[in-house]
Amino acid sequence: QFSFQENGWGASLAERLVRKCDVVNRGLSGYNTRWAKLILPRLISKSTGAESTVAVTIFFGANDSALKDLNPKQHVPLEEYAANLKSMIQYLKSVDITEDRIILITPPPLQESAWEKECLAKGDKLNRRNATTGEYAQACVQVARDCGTDVLDLWTLMQKNQEFSSYLSDGLHLSTKGNSFLAAQLWSCLEKKLSALPSLLPYWRDVDHTNPEASLL
């Protein structure tokens, strides 16, 4: 949901793809795969132009991996999380969005000390663990392998070369830097899928001003 905020990764993709295609935000803050699986047919169907969909990202795990005893509302067991991802992929395929147009994104890593401060401020205990989030990230990668989709392993990539806390605004959600990182990684995944898309309508200098109908209709 936050991907279209200022400097968000969704907004960045939309800017890159202006006059190529529309980037549609159907993210829902706080949701997990159990809920997303139920509402997916309302968000994407054959009648909503599935056949003209170039790519779909599925980005879940940060909420599913919340600790069951401390956050039972958002928690989804690991095996169910994987099954739900597979179910969403199968649904998309049923409305003619093939696996080569689906990109799974793992949850980002969790910076526990920063997120613990957020939890304590609300009178709660630390309700997530980075190691647990990593298990969900691994499951997401495995689902992508099993189903033949692309996957962006954000959990691993963000921890690869440096201290990853700067990628997160509060230990859980992406910062401006984290959004830029995700946008860049996702673009390298999308570029080959989108490079052949034509521009919508001619550049203004190419319009025949004496007979615009000839250029525009």
pLDDT band, very low/low/confident/very high, at 163 (cuts 50, 70, 90): confident
Question: Quick check: 197 pLDDT over 90?
Answer: no
The CATH fold assigned to 2-215 is Rossmann fold (3.40.50)
Per-residue pLDDT at 114 exceeds 80: yes
Range 171-178 contact pairs with CB under 8 angstroms and sequence separation of 24 or more: 171/110, 171/111, 171/112, 171/113, 171/114, 171/115, 171/116, 171/117, 171/118, 172/62, 172/110, 172/111, 172/114, 172/115, 172/118, 172/128, 173/2, 174/2, 174/9, 174/108, 176/7, 178/108
Identify which of 85, 79, 70 has the alpha carbon closest to the alpha carbon of residue 33.
85
Q: What is the pTM of this model?
A: 0.94
Q: How many CB atoms lie within 10 A of CB 1?
A: 13
**Structure confidence at residue 118 (pLDDT):** 95
What average pLDDT is seen over the chain? 94
pLDDT at 154: 97
pLDDT tens, position by position, 18-49: 999 999 999 999 999 999 999 999 999 888 77
Q: Taking a C-beta distance cutoff of 8 angstroms, is the pair 31, 75 a contact? A: no
The pLDDT tens digits for 35-85 are: 999 999 999 988 877 778 999 999 999 999 999 999 999 999 999 999 999
- The domain segmentation of the chain, as residue ranges, is 2-215
Which tokens belong to 213?
């109908």
What percent of the chain clears pLDDT 90, i.e. is strictly above it? 89
